[in-house]
Chain A
Amino acid sequence: MIKKKLVIKNKLGLHARAAVKFVNLANRFASSIKIVKDGSEVDGKSVLGILTLAAVQGSEIQLNVSGKDEDMAFLAISDLIDDKFHEKE
């Protein structure tokens, strides 16, 4: 299992569009992907779950990834977050 903390950098945070991109990507992996923020954990493959986190710009989240392809999955998702979900700002 990989556990790592990341900061949401894009201006709009984990808003609907970003959440959709997140889930889209998470679904490509067999691993279980959980996001923890302020003590609550949600499934990284659930758009609704992600939205209820209300992760705005600057929020710190923890990714818990576990499964056969956890390395690939973690890398891909942290890239997406670092790349600000391909948003301009």
Chain B
Amino acid sequence: MEYFRLRGTGVSPGIAVGEVLLSEGIAFTSRKSGINKEHVERELKRLDVSIHRTGEQLKKLKEEIGKKVGSDHSFIFEAHLFILQDDYLISRIKEIIKEEKTRAERAISKVFEEYSKMFKSIENEYFKQREYDLKDVLSKIYLNLETDKKLKKDDGKEKILVAHDLLPSEAASRLSKGNVLAVALDVGGTTSHTAILARSLNIPAIMGLSQITRKVKDGDTLIVDGTNGEVIINPPLAIRREFDSKQKKYDSYVRELKKTATLESKTLDSVRFFPFANIELPEEVNLAFSMGAEGVGLFRTEFIFFQRKVLPSEEDHYQVYSQVVKDAGKKPVYIRTVDIGGEKNFPQLSIEKEPNPALGLRGFRLSLRERKHFKIQLRAILRASALNKNVRIMLPMITDLEEIEEAKLIIGEIKEELKAQKFSYDENIPLGIMIEVPAAAAVSDSLVKEVDYISIGTNDLIQYYLAVDRSNELVSYLFKPLHPSVLRLLKFIIDSAKKEKKEVTVCGEMAADPLSALALLGLGLKRFSMNPIFIPKIKKTLRSVEYKSAQMIVEKALSLKTAREVEEHFLESVLSKHPKALLTTEAS
């Protein structure tokens, strides 16, 4: 078996070694297996039986997915049913069987090649992509030609899933089965639904491998290095050994982190802190808790919009929120109202292209303009708050006091409406804002009086404050969370909240970086919200220091002049006092 390597984008870290399981779509054959004249009838019959079987499966899928995730997602199966009933398609397959006296397998493959050429010549991306719908249907027919083929595929053995792409519903059902060691896809990227799911389930994944589905076959051995974005196909023994030991190292690192997850969240001098999770899929809640999260510090709601071709209804929202809220039990869930705009555009709202989206109509600003949709979302959040009384509303991109007053008016109206319609909700549902605009940070002492809590979105806040776009390679070196100016600003915000005895959380990446988390602790922060996979690491760091010493270290840092000085001072003093605090070596 040929040995080679492919590069893609690592979207979920970790290493897995295993056998390939090619997802159905690519089972076609180019082998011409001729048959006798008298067997033509038999092949036609096989084809008919298989088409019937496929139709039944599609109907069932349509019904199941419709029930589980809504009719928007089940439409795909309806379209597939139509393709299955396409007379042109089916009679062309039969024609090939008759004319070429070949098995149905080959006829299906040939028809796919014919259509594939047509689709490939299309320029429009949407129509070009429909080739995969056809592929999906044809491969289902192909697989159904043999009754036991399905069984062989679904033997439940742990394998590496290789596919062109996975539909959201498909990703959820396949990855949650527990027998997928890793995922390698032709297309996709870090923000795709499958990537998010893989990360949350701790399954190494690489996407954007362009043609891996054409280059590997069932039974090939793969190494998937999700940390480095590399796939190694049929590795020689020496390379396999090298990765086996890397994998062991990584696994023990993860195991140790998970152990940390169950320990108490207290510093050496017994000061209690709270690790929270930033998530965006209901499926992530349980994983987040298994990593030690003590609440959902940021539930992003954009995916509810991005998953659909049309704007979500109140029920769409409610289904998602109620699941998260129920899974969270008594733990708090901070639901952030939709933060669309900026770089995250949404075609259905036909937002005009802005010259400077980061400074444009985004977050709460957009919600105020699209008041109808904002109210739909708030109604669903309020209704979900009745279930466990653990919901908090969080508003993104707030700049000034009047926006908070406006939001309160709207929430008040909705409460009245709900009351009149006999819906229940949490009368005391806490309302909070994100502090991510520097102006809001500067007046956080007055804003915090108007709300129940504040949450500092350090990613945007620091970008705006330092006037640095992190994704711009020319200036990204200036993005310094430990810049003395940033520390002073954070100190002001955290002190403002403390003065009013209000809760304050950080929900940016700073909370997930050990050194920065220590700085935040020293500034008096107790609530750290981050991607759940970082929780054990941060917990380990915070558990191995004294709150008091962190305070002292930060106090000195506030008087330093540059980010480098701050960093050096931190490393030096933390390491001399608590040598274990930064020992969270990441396996590579």
* Given known A-B contacts A16-B130, A17-B75, A43-B88, A48 and B124 have beta carbons under 8 A apart: no
Say yes or no: A54 contacts B115, CB within 8 Å. Answer: no
Flag whether A84 is at the interface (Cβ < 8 A): no
Chain B residues touching A, range: 20 to 34
Say yes or no: A54 contacts B82, CB within 8 Å. Answer: no
Complex CA gap A16/B115 in Å reads 16
Chain A: CB-nearest residue to B118: A52
Flag whether A15 is at the interface (Cβ < 8 A): yes
Flag whether B133 is at the interface (Cβ < 8 A): yes
Say yes or no: A47 contacts B82, CB within 8 Å. Answer: yes
From 88 to 124 in chain B, residues with beta carbon under 8 angstroms from any chain A beta carbon are: 88-89, 115, 118-119, 122-124
From 6 to 38 in chain A, residues with beta carbon under 8 angstroms from any chain B beta carbon are: 12-13, 15-17, 19-20, 23
Chain B: CB-nearest residue to A23: B82
* Given known A-B contacts A16-B133, A20-B78, A43-B88, A48 and B126 have beta carbons under 8 A apart: no
Q: Which of A20, A43, A53 meets B82, CB within 8 Å? A: A20
Complex CA gap A43/B90 in Å reads 14
Say yes or no: A45 contacts B87, CB within 8 Å. Answer: yes
Q: Encode A53-79 as 1/0 by CB contact (under 8 A) with B.
A: 110100000000000000000000000
* Given known A-B contacts A16-B130, A54-B122, A54-B124, A48 and B83 have beta carbons under 8 A apart: yes
How many chain A residues touch the partner (CB < 8 A)? 19
Say yes or no: A52 contacts B126, CB within 8 Å. Answer: no
Q: Which residues of B contact A17 (CB under 8 A)?
A: 75, 79
Q: Encode B209-236 as 1/0 by CB contact (under 8 A) with A.
A: 0000000000000000000000000000
Chain A: CB-nearest residue to B124: A54
Min CB gap A16→B, angstroms: 5
Q: Which residues of B contact A53 (CB under 8 A)?
A: 127
Complex CA gap A20/B126 in Å reads 16
Complex CA gap A17/B74 in Å reads 12
Q: Which residues of B contact A15 (CB under 8 A)?
A: 126-127
* Given known A-B contacts A46-B87, A49-B88, A52-B118, A16 and B123 have beta carbons under 8 A apart: no
Min CB gap B291→A, angstroms: 39
Complex CA gap A54/B125 in Å reads 9
Complex CA gap A3/B87 in Å reads 23
Say yes or no: A48 contacts B78, CB within 8 Å. Answer: no
Complex CA gap A15/B133 in Å reads 12
Complex CA gap A51/B89 in Å reads 13
A-B interface contact total, Cβ < 8 Å? 52
Say yes or no: A51 contacts B130, CB within 8 Å. Answer: yes
Complex CA gap A59/B571 in Å reads 64
* Given known A-B contacts A15-B126, A51-B130, A56-B124, A20 and B79 have beta carbons under 8 A apart: yes
Chain B: CB-nearest residue to A43: B88
Q: Which residues of A contact B154 (CB under 8 A)?
A: none
Complex CA gap A75/B172 in Å reads 44
Complex CA gap A14/B130 in Å reads 12
* Given known A-B contacts A43-B88, A46-B87, A47-B86, A16 and B79 have beta carbons under 8 A apart: yes
Say yes or no: A47 contacts B124, CB within 8 Å. Answer: no
Q: Which residues of A contact B123 (CB under 8 A)?
A: 54
Q: Which residues of A contact B88 (CB under 8 A)?
A: 43, 46, 48-49
Say yes or no: A51 contacts B127, CB within 8 Å. Answer: yes
Complex CA gap A17/B72 in Å reads 11
Complex CA gap A54/B130 in Å reads 10
Q: Which residues of A contact B118 (CB under 8 A)?
A: 52
Complex CA gap A80/B402 in Å reads 47
Q: Which residues of A contact B115 (CB under 8 A)?
A: 48, 52
Min CB gap B80→A, angstroms: 9
Say yes or no: A47 contacts B127, CB within 8 Å. Answer: no
Complex CA gap A16/B79 in Å reads 7
Q: Which residues of A contact B78 (CB under 8 A)?
A: 20
Q: Which residues of B contact A12 (CB under 8 A)?
A: 126
Complex CA gap A49/B82 in Å reads 11
Min CB gap B113→A, angstroms: 14
Min CB gap A24→B, angstroms: 8
Say yes or no: B86 contacts A48, CB within 8 Å. Answer: yes
Q: Which residues of B contact A23 (CB under 8 A)?
A: 82
Q: Which residues of B contact A47 (CB under 8 A)?
A: 79, 82-83, 86
Complex CA gap A46/B87 in Å reads 7
Complex CA gap A37/B78 in Å reads 25
Q: Which of B89, B119, B122, B130 meets A46, CB within 8 Å? A: B89
From 117 to 168 in chain B, residues with beta carbon under 8 angstroms from any chain A beta carbon are: 118-119, 122-124, 126-128, 130, 133-134
B118, B124, B127: most-surrounded residue (chain A CB, <10 A): B127
Known: A46-B89, A47-B86. 7 other contacts (CB 8 A): A16-B133, A20-B78, A45-B87, A46-B87, A46-B88, A48-B86, A54-B128
Residues of A within 8 A of B (CB): 12-13, 15-17, 19-20, 23, 43, 45-49, 51-54, 56
A-B contact pairs, 8 of them (CB 8 A): A16-B79, A16-B130, A17-B75, A19-B79, A20-B79, A43-B88, A46-B89, A51-B119
Which 3 residue pairs of A and B lie closest in terms of their CB atoms, listed nearest first? A54-B127, A47-B82, A46-B88
